[in-house]
Structure 1
């Protein structure tokens, strides 16, 4: 199951995953990310993962496929916070930090959810207050 979480910053897509995740639920997250990319020059992601038990095969394929389409668009992403007490996620995040620049990925323990949300809500210097990508602004 995928639950959208209200984030305090409009450029943040926040989710909680639990139980079984299927492709149609995953599509909701993809749609939210794509909508945020239309409205903001940089998007950050916040995901709570500990209650996720498994993904269907179609959800896994959709996740991998969407991820591959985003490799050429990494400049749209700023930060990704994974909230989990699973220790195996830390080396995975370290690998993602090396492979997917400029996206910065960090894993936070469940006790540090508020810190994780605050971290993803921060924008890069010079982008605070920007609501639309520079290419979609009208000259005035």
Structure 2
């Protein structure tokens, strides 16, 4: 399940719980694309607390979207990832190193406010 969270206009903010479906993924992409249509660069806040997995459909859509956006990664200025799972924080940090144009930080669940504050900082122009 996906909840789109209130956030600054340049921040796409989500809380995922349970199993992410293809329909959930479509809603996430629609929100991101709306923010990108209004801002040259955005930030993403993702709270993964309570997420148990992704459907095969959602995984396929995730891979396709990542490939489609390959030339536009610099439009994602920063990403805040909230998770209680240390292995997921480590994977997120590793993936963040593969995208040097995006600053990525992981946060514990009790740091949600700090994560949103960090993600909401003004995005530098490139």
Is the shorter-chain TM-score for this pair beyond 0.5, marking a shared fold? yes
Q: How large is the Cα RMSD of the aligned pairs? A: 1.5
Structure 2 residues not aligned, in runs of 5+? none
Distance 1:125 1:103 in 2: 11
| TM-score, structure 1 as length reference | 0.84
| TM-score, structure 2 as length reference | 0.93
State the structure with more CA Rg. Answer: 1
What's the offset of the Cα at 1:86? 0.5
Partner residue in 1 for 2:17: 18
Distance 1:102 1:125 in 2: 11
What's the offset of the Cα at 1:46? 0.5
Distance 2:49 2:124 in 1: 32
1:1-140 equivalent positions in 2, closer than 5 A: 1-7=1-7, 9-125=8-124
Structure 1 residues not aligned, in runs of 5+? 128-140
Count of residue pairs the alignment pairs up = 126
Flag as ranges the 4+ runs of structure 1 deviating above 4 A. none
